[in-house]
Amino acid sequence: MNKRTGFTLIEMLVVVAIISLLVGIIAPALSAVRRHASKMTCQTRMHEIARAIWAYSVANDSRVPYVLSPMVNNKFDATSVPDEEINPYDRERWPLSLQNVLMPIYLGQDEKIFTCPSANRGWPRSGNSFRMTYRDAGANQPNGMVSQESSYYRETFGFMDGRPMNELRIHFTGNVMLDLQKRAWMRGGYVRDMIRRDNNRALGPHDGGINILNREFGVEFRDQKTVQQDLTPNQEGSRF
C-alpha cells in the first residue's frame, strides 16, 4: 500500500487559515500589552523624577527647584533654532535646566529617566533617538519669559520657580471666579509627556493620552479628550 507522506493542498490551506486567524486574534492583544507596559515604564520614570525633586527640596529649605527650560514654545517649534541651542544637558547654555539641576546629585546620570518609550515627540527633534521627551514646568514656560507671580502662565506652566513647596498647595477662597482660576492651576504638572499637534488636536504618546507628574506628586494618566481640554483651550495653548 502507498503511504501518504505530506499534506494535501486543502489541508495546507486549512492550516494556514487557522494560523492567520490565531495571529489576528493574538496580535492586537500583544500590541495592547506592549502599549500598557510602555505607559507603566513612563510612569515609573516620572516617579523617579518626583523622588529627585523631593530630595532637592529636602536639601534646599523645602523649596522646589528654580528651573529655566530651554524648551519653550518659541524655541522648540522654531525651525530656525538648531537642536544644540536647546540641549537641556548643556551645562554652559542651560545650567538651570531640570536635567542639570537634578543630575547627577539627586537623580544619577541615566538620561533615559527623561524619556518615554512611546514618545512621539522629543529632543533632539532630528534623528531617530530621543534623549528627552518630557516637558517641565520651568519658570520660563510656556513662552520663554518668566511671567508675573500668581499669573495664569506662572501658576499653570511655570511654577518651578524656587518657591517654598507648601506654597504650591491650592487654597480656595470662596470667590467663584478666583477659585475657577485656581482649579485651572491644579491641572499643571512638574513634568508631562510632550504632545504632538495634528492640526488642532493634541496627541500624546499613549493612545493620544499623556502621563503627568501632578502638583501633588502623583503620577496620573490623562486620556486624549482630557489632554485636548487641558492643553489646547480655544484651539490654542501648549504646542508640544
Cell of 2: 502507498
Q: How far apart are CA 211 and CA 57, in angstroms?
A: 23
pLDDT tens for each residue of 30-48: 666 687 788 899 999 999 9
Query: What pLDDT is stored for residue 55 in this prediction?
Result: 94
pLDDT band (50, 70, 90) for residue 88: very high
pLDDT tens for each residue of 165-184: 888 877 777 787 777 777 77
The answer to whether position 3 is within a domain reads: no
Query: What pLDDT is stored for residue 181 in this prediction?
Result: 75
Burial of 175 (0-12, 13-18, 19+ CB in 10 A): exposed
- The contacts of residue 113 (CB under 8 Å, 6+ apart) are 45, 48, 49, 107
- The answer, yes or no, to whether residue 9 has pLDDT greater than 80, is no
Cα distances from 6 to residues 2, 3, 11, 17, 186, in angstroms, run 12, 9, 10, 18, 68
The answer to whether position 2 is within a domain reads: no
Q: How far apart are CA 157 and CA 169, in angstroms?
A: 15
Q: How far apart are CA 24 and CA 177, in angstroms?
A: 53
**pTM for this entry:** 0.82
**Domain count of the chain?**
1
Range of the domain at 109: 10-235
Cell of 143: 513662552
The answer to whether position 18 is within a domain reads: yes
The answer to whether position 42 is within a domain reads: yes
Cell of 213: 507628574
The answer to whether position 4 is within a domain reads: no
On whether the CB atoms of residues 137 and 158 are closer than 8 A, the answer is yes
Among residues 60, 17, 76, 49, the alpha carbon closest in space to that of 218 is found at 49
The answer to whether position 63 is within a domain reads: yes
